[in-house]
Amino acid sequence: MKTKHIQIDPLMAAALGVKPVYGKISGDEANKCFQILGKSLGESTNIESLRRDGNSEAYLLMIGLCWSGIKSAGCLIRTSTI
């Protein structure tokens, strides 16, 4: 059995067909919930876009867009070496 470490509302878990243990679900169950909710909302259900390991094309695209927004807003923090 996979470790259940992601907190979920009991009503939402019941509606999505997952069974939490002590109010928590596994990553695979969270993926299932993400897929169901994304499809019902008409949103992208590419789970790879949530990865933060830097190997996912979707993640790299997302990071690029975030940095573009930060740069255009003038929010870059300047660091100096002493």
Q: How far apart are the first and last CA of the chain?
A: 51
Position 42 pLDDT exceeds 80: yes
Position 36 pLDDT exceeds 90: no
Residues of the chain with pLDDT > 70, as a percent, come to: 56
Average pLDDT, whole number, for the chain?
A: 75
**pTM score, whole prediction:** 0.57
Look up residue 37 and give its amino acid. L
Confidence of residue 40 (pLDDT cuts 50, 70, 90): confident
Are the beta carbons of 39 and 45 closer than 8 angstroms?
yes
> In whole angstroms, how far apart are CA 59 and each of 31, 53, 76?
16, 8, 20
More confident residue, 24 or 55: 24
Are the beta carbons of 23 and 7 closer than 8 angstroms?
yes
**CA dist., res. 64 & res. 54, Å (int):** 11
